[in-house]
Structure 1
């Protein structure tokens, strides 16, 4: 039997299909002990379905919503108005009308009512849809109740609701609407409570907005609310606003604005005692629903009524920990220039690589935790060591200045100092590793011949890659997964001890050159040129090799035309049939043989490599062909080497003319030689790791193909949704719960929309520390990572495969990892949202002599594509010179 009406006592959160998200949450509140909810009932979604089912044209009207143009909104507004007008004029079936009237009389016809919409796609854990449909307040009488219900149904097609569903991928025809009919309460004070601070994300703080009258004054934004923040039953923040107006019930129905006069405007509208009572209720409700809540409340004669609760969908998830200590988590993605969401297999691979805090030697690290499909280091255990606390912020500033600042701020907080465990001493065994490495670093700086180091490392890496390829080819099934875990677990302990004696001198000597130049000469005029075009940087060599491919193709118009319409599956084979293709093919084959394992976001194993998706490189190739003369990339690099040599000679000449000049020049010459001979190693660790990730991916895809052949997987890439241990179990058992794949796809899609923070606490608080910069008013500030000033047209590029740049443009990107290097020869300057002095983009920018500013929050939004900008890579800021969007190219 169809039920058109359900009372709150009859339903709960599982009733969402019948009463919508808001109705289900409200009914769930009804069942929580100690929570007062005004009485009411829900007109069910069956009533809505049977109501619109009486229309002969309704389906045709909503089908039009999927094809109307949303920009401009004229078509959408007209389509929405047609549907609303039609539904408001449509007669309500008599059985539905009778059911509503009967329930209203039972609840009390003498009362006034609030009539609220409750859609099935509303107040959900991953999409709130809050405020998309209409609400009618202070409604009295049978006719007005029925009219308000019909208007609520029609409001499912407000312009804002239609646009919201289009953006979030919800089918207009599948969303149904319930209507809540609830007794009105007429509060002295009302407001909104968040059981987690909506600004910082701190789950330990309850934030309460309050004002006189009905809460609609806050929701509609016509009044500035009092703000109360409660933590541990204490009001820790209290801001009393000047409240000029309140919304109150009108005597004839509906609501009206009422002026607040005299001292009452600045009166505290909520006592501390009631703020604490509210916070306790909020915690009770949060515990019941299992997550932070956005709660609407009313205060009537000192009684608190809850009239709505919905999940807070905007909070970034907190990495899971097993204790109640105050933790600090740092993003792995920001220093690695990869802030996008990562699929479960990619996360599992990275956690296996980290060699600390493992339950088993080849298991996944407990220091690297997933949150929002990104990875965070739990650095809390490290902060127990005084030596680490003293040195870590400064070290991290070289990687990402904002992360270093955030760590320094966290360490300096009272709540950390008061709750920090007793200082630990660094393990004695650590000295056995650190002391020999320190002596090796000193020897490499002071007197060793380092000219052969890069060639030796290249041979070592090639041998290790070949050895591990053979190991993976010798096994299959679960044994291959075990071998993958063993190889991954060995990568970092193998490569970093071998490279540290060379990478550290390369970085330290750069700092020393600048320090001594400033000390002895009073400036660092030559420093920005000294790092240009050093030998042996595998990433720079990759950029030059791509330029060679562009040169091979530029003389063959048919090849250029082919690139523009080529597809991944036949990219190389199709080239053979194009005039000139056979001449270009060797350069491409050679490039993919050396660098085909690379791509953007390459630390994520699930990302398609250039070899798998070669069309990713087409925009960069075409930009090279259009923006550079033949051989110019090689000439520019050689010029960089000459400029570096000239800068070194100028510096040495200036030093020789100072007091003790011969000694100073000799000392500086050694530092410059060590820096230039070793700084190319900066990219080798990732080069080593990425080659192994490519091997691992090939091995995993072989196993995935076998699972497809057995009918366990439908597509090889479904393996991306499983961790390494899960893949091993599937291979052993031949069984897979496919619901897991669907759940993880949905989670990944939700997480991909989130903006990951650099640093956050275990309480969910996002720590934001602005990088310091001596900047003019209105400039965007960041970290100065490559000296110089550049002015030009901004090219805002979000994805490398959509890049279009001309020589002299300024590249503005979320990040730049080695996959972005092909664009560097074209760029006059670089601006990124993440990064620091020693991250990839900064190092390569210095090698190319390009001014660069990193860590500019929101750069790809605040800077418009085509806008004229000036960047100062010496002081760390970006100036916006015009409104932008001129000569805009598609991205």
Structure 2
């Protein structure tokens, strides 16, 4: 393919392997409607033809393989011959013809390198290869092209490839040609803080005129720091530090004038505050379009006096690590142990945009009460192949530093099978400080927790009001309402605290019991928490069970359910029908929930009640008396054993811890329900906005809006992004989304740190199972149960579950609770002591074992299992 790539569509079709990383990234931005100058490219095939014609390939490869000292001399000796080799005449003729057409006619050119490995996620090649500006005339253009090709074989480029382990025979070069913009100002921008590593900061360097001095590091220019606001994803100007040199006017390429450093004119900021924010938003939008999961890019930009242009966008390959000093040198441990419960599948951009900040609010609130100095900008969630992970290293360290919770204990709460960080032993002074923090926490937590009930009531009231209010009249009204609701949700500290800080007393309870019954703390704690005041999730299950009883007792309703087809409307029954009245009451209380409710794309039960209606016949057979008796029996036996095990003077503490742990877990479920109530009107708003954009041809379906990050959708509304470019962006994301589905996600990912340390940490991870026919997990529910295994991947497949069967699942959320009413025992692939399945199993007094990754693939449907909730084992009996 030794031919010219004449425009961005051709460059995009050629791909990074032929057009190079730099050209391909800009081609994608052009496809998505970003302001990118016109371009054409000489493909990699043209380079290979030039190198083959030179006859120097073998000599270059031999020189590159020499030791360092000899390599430099050998490469320098070959360089004159390499530079003397002209491009192919046919290629120059194609260029000559193209340069007679607008916008190329009489334009000065930028001739830039675009190697296939350049501007990649693992290597940037920044400053390694040649780029030349203000190139005019055919002879100068031919020299510039050769200079770019030859820059692949400079000592610096070869040494860079050696360091990265890139085979020299794989080295190649495309050349990107662009008209030189009449830049009044230009610079570089990072969609992160490259020094601190924070991804909620943007750093822009701006200089007058062309930006080669800035890119080359000869000047810093003005430095602008922008902050991403967690409450509504907007940008704010944090600081503006002048640094650009004075400027003077000189003739610009193509006519007119431009500003360049070095004159005697009055010094002034390169960008106004408004321009800084506009540029920052453009850079952020470009990074999100290229990779919404890791939008950390280094971009070159220019301003021509009227608009900003993007000239390059490459992933930031080296930045500071935003972590605690004690964790430097240790890997970041990313885990799905807890997130699989809440978000087991891939996250569309809209959901990731919400979780990226919400998870920080949930996890930080409790620590902030202690006065513990939280790390500014720490990001505790990450997206890998579309799945949500938690940074367990941060969580383990914060638990240890603030509350003296050992990493192993934090792992038990979080769930999953992952390694532990190394922590230093406590000094006496540090123990005193931690003690003071715990006292401060206890004094403050009660007050914040007491705000929980009013906050939940307010959530239910406001969610209903927002759900029932008229939709905004125009896009501006939609944007204002979306931002208003987002700001309100962000301010719900009591709900964040209740949802994210529910494990302190539970951990203390387990430790207390373990001290007197080694290895049995989990099981005893689970049994002690059985029964009592039911959580909102259990009340939801009990309420639907009562609806089922009413339905089956009513001939009209039971006949309708027996013949019902998906989509049939229950409101077609008479208004005074007992089942219709009871079901309407149930939806009024719990209609904001659904199967895997944390995904905005899933319709709420109020919208689509088919799952509930299909569950009613089977649920009517659930024996509530058996469940209640099981709870009471488990709790009574556990109390008797705990009293025997503990000395008399610890028994009052036991009672206090049980009551508080029960309240904390109930609060956790209640807060989740309230947050989901807020999510319902947000879903309706976004989908209604999507419907408007379908009418304009911007989207194929209303749910396409969920394949935009919130900041992207709002930027379209604000006129910062063209709506007409959305179909191509969303089509590319849907294709990537489908590819992620075929990639089995690892449970743990290790990043950074010393490789030997990472390997040692991996070796400390708990093995999946014991030898033989017994699987060892974590006990979270009391007692022992025996029964046939029912391997169920989704709750709507739960009709196969009979009373007393062993429920074997990947993870659970509140929609699974209906199956707990019939299950004799629970086996779960993921989860810890704070997972939803553990909480509900404890309440029901069901024998339960969690944290058994891969168990669904190892068991057979219907085989008999023994679930020992006391010792955390699952035994195959057949």
TM-score of the aligned structures, taking structure 1 as reference length: 0.54
Contact 1:790 1:851 in 2 (8 A): yes
How many angstroms does 1:397 deviate by?
Answer: 1.2
Contact 2:571 2:580 in 1 (8 A): no
Contact 2:605 2:612 in 1 (8 A): yes
Match of 2:411 in 1: 397
How many angstroms does 1:686 deviate by?
Answer: 1.4
1:819 equivalenced with 2:815 (yes/no): yes
1:540 equivalenced with 2:560 (yes/no): no
How far apart, CA to CA, are the structure 2 residues paired with 1:434 and 1:546?
Answer: 41
The change in CA–CA distance for 1:682 and 1:651 in structure 2 (over 3 A counts) is farther
How far apart, CA to CA, are the structure 1 residues paired with 2:577 and 2:16?
Answer: 61
2:166 counterpart SS class: helix
Match of 1:848 in 2: 844
2:416 counterpart SS class: helix
Match of 2:596 in 1: 601
Match of 1:281 in 2: 167
How far apart, CA to CA, are the structure 2 residues paired with 1:683 and 1:814?
Answer: 20
Matches within 5 A, 1:85-484: 280-281=166-167, 284=170, 322=316, 323=318, 328=332, 330-331=334-335, 334-335=338-339, 337=341, 338-355=343-360, 367-378=380-391, 387=401, 391=405, 393-403=407-417, 405-408=418-421, 411=422, 435-439=439-443, 457-467=452-462, 470=465, 473=469, 476-484=477-485
Contact 2:19 2:174 in 1 (8 A): no
How many angstroms does 1:824 deviate by?
Answer: 0.4
Matches within 5 A, 1:796-815: 796-803=791-798, 804-815=800-811
How many angstroms does 1:827 deviate by?
Answer: 0.9
How many angstroms does 1:846 deviate by?
Answer: 1.6
1:717 equivalenced with 2:703 (yes/no): yes
Match of 2:723 in 1: 735
Match of 1:511 in 2: 510
2:618 corresponds, among 598, 614, 623, to 623
The change in CA–CA distance for 1:596 and 1:285 in structure 2 (over 3 A counts) is farther
How many angstroms does 1:709 deviate by?
Answer: 5.0
The change in CA–CA distance for 1:319 and 1:859 in structure 2 (over 3 A counts) is farther
Match of 1:650 in 2: 640
Match of 1:303 in 2: none
1:683 corresponds, among 669, 677, 682, to 669
Match of 1:760 in 2: 749
How many angstroms does 1:547 deviate by?
Answer: 1.1
The change in CA–CA distance for 1:722 and 1:859 in structure 2 (over 3 A counts) is same
The change in CA–CA distance for 1:371 and 1:786 in structure 2 (over 3 A counts) is same
How far apart, CA to CA, are the structure 1 residues paired with 2:616 and 2:846?
Answer: 20
1:694 equivalenced with 2:680 (yes/no): yes
How far apart, CA to CA, are the structure 1 residues paired with 2:627 and 2:765?
Answer: 35
How far apart, CA to CA, are the structure 1 residues paired with 2:626 and 2:814?
Answer: 19
How far apart, CA to CA, are the structure 1 residues paired with 2:395 and 2:49?
Answer: 43
The change in CA–CA distance for 1:569 and 1:35 in structure 2 (over 3 A counts) is farther
How far apart, CA to CA, are the structure 1 residues paired with 2:826 and 2:507?
Answer: 24
1:836 corresponds, among 828, 832, 835, to 832
How many angstroms does 1:562 deviate by?
Answer: 3.8
Render the CA deviation track for 1:219-240: whole Å, top value 9, x for unaligned: xxxxxxxxxxxxxxxxxxxxxx
How far apart, CA to CA, are the structure 2 residues paired with 1:400 and 1:480?
Answer: 35
Contact 1:317 1:372 in 2 (8 A): no
RMSD between aligned residues: 5.3
Contact 2:867 2:873 in 1 (8 A): yes
Match of 1:97 in 2: none
How far apart, CA to CA, are the structure 1 residues paired with 2:744 and 2:440?
Answer: 42
Contact 1:30 1:36 in 2 (8 A): no
How far apart, CA to CA, are the structure 2 residues paired with 1:816 and 1:283?
Answer: 51
How many angstroms does 1:751 deviate by?
Answer: 1.6
Contact 2:397 2:407 in 1 (8 A): no
Structure 2 runs not aligned, ≥5 long? 21-41, 53-116, 124-161, 176-290, 297-315, 322-330, 365-375
How many angstroms does 1:341 deviate by?
Answer: 0.8
Render the CA deviation track for 1:811-849: whole Å, top value 9, x for unaligned: 111101111111001111111221112211112112212
How many angstroms does 1:331 deviate by?
Answer: 4.1
Match of 1:749 in 2: 738
1:838 counterpart SS class: coil
The change in CA–CA distance for 1:721 and 1:522 in structure 2 (over 3 A counts) is closer
Contact 1:318 1:371 in 2 (8 A): yes
The change in CA–CA distance for 1:591 and 1:388 in structure 2 (over 3 A counts) is same
2:870 counterpart SS class: coil
How far apart, CA to CA, are the structure 2 residues paired with 1:772 and 1:727?
Answer: 44
How far apart, CA to CA, are the structure 2 residues paired with 1:384 and 1:513?
Answer: 22
Matches within 5 A, 1:629-640: 632-633=623-624, 635-640=625-630
1:826 counterpart SS class: coil
Match of 1:486 in 2: 487
The change in CA–CA distance for 1:20 and 1:711 in structure 2 (over 3 A counts) is closer
How many angstroms does 1:676 deviate by?
Answer: 4.4
Match of 2:856 in 1: 860
Contact 1:526 1:647 in 2 (8 A): no
Contact 2:544 2:586 in 1 (8 A): yes
How far apart, CA to CA, are the structure 2 residues paired with 1:522 and 1:377?
Answer: 28
Match of 1:876 in 2: 872
Match of 1:589 in 2: 584
The change in CA–CA distance for 1:567 and 1:739 in structure 2 (over 3 A counts) is farther
The change in CA–CA distance for 1:329 and 1:508 in structure 2 (over 3 A counts) is closer
1:402 counterpart SS class: coil
How far apart, CA to CA, are the structure 1 residues paired with 2:164 and 2:660?
Answer: 64
Render the CA deviation track for 1:18-47: whole Å, top value 9, x for unaligned: 99999999x99977879999xxxxxxxxxx
Render the CA deviation track for 1:187-234: whole Å, top value 9, x for unaligned: xxxxxxxx9xxxxxx989xxxxxxxxxxxxxxxxxxxxxxxxxxxxxx
Match of 2:267 in 1: none
Matches within 5 A, 1:545-560: 545-556=543-554, 559-560=557-558
Contact 2:360 2:380 in 1 (8 A): no
Equivalent residues, number: 576
Match of 1:531 in 2: 529
How far apart, CA to CA, are the structure 1 residues paired with 2:403 and 2:338?
Answer: 21
How far apart, CA to CA, are the structure 1 residues paired with 2:437 and 2:403?
Answer: 20
How far apart, CA to CA, are the structure 2 residues paired with 1:517 and 1:534?
Answer: 24
How far apart, CA to CA, are the structure 1 residues paired with 2:382 and 2:768?
Answer: 32
1:794 corresponds, among 778, 789, 796, to 789
How far apart, CA to CA, are the structure 2 residues paired with 1:287 and 1:814?
Answer: 47
Contact 2:346 2:388 in 1 (8 A): no
Matches within 5 A, 1:59-98: none
Match of 2:130 in 1: none
How far apart, CA to CA, are the structure 2 residues paired with 1:333 and 1:490?
Answer: 27
Contact 1:771 1:782 in 2 (8 A): no
How far apart, CA to CA, are the structure 2 residues paired with 1:500 and 1:377?
Answer: 13
How many angstroms does 1:684 deviate by?
Answer: 2.2
TM-score of the aligned structures, taking structure 2 as reference length: 0.55
How far apart, CA to CA, are the structure 1 residues paired with 2:406 and 2:583?
Answer: 43
How far apart, CA to CA, are the structure 1 residues paired with 2:404 and 2:122?
Answer: 28
How far apart, CA to CA, are the structure 2 residues paired with 1:17 and 1:643?
Answer: 67
More displaced stretch, 720-729 vs 669-678? 669-678
How many angstroms does 1:697 deviate by?
Answer: 1.5
Render the CA deviation track for 1:23-76: whole Å, top value 9, x for unaligned: 999x99977879999xxxxxxxxxxxxxxxxxxxxxxxxxxxxxxxxxxxxxxx
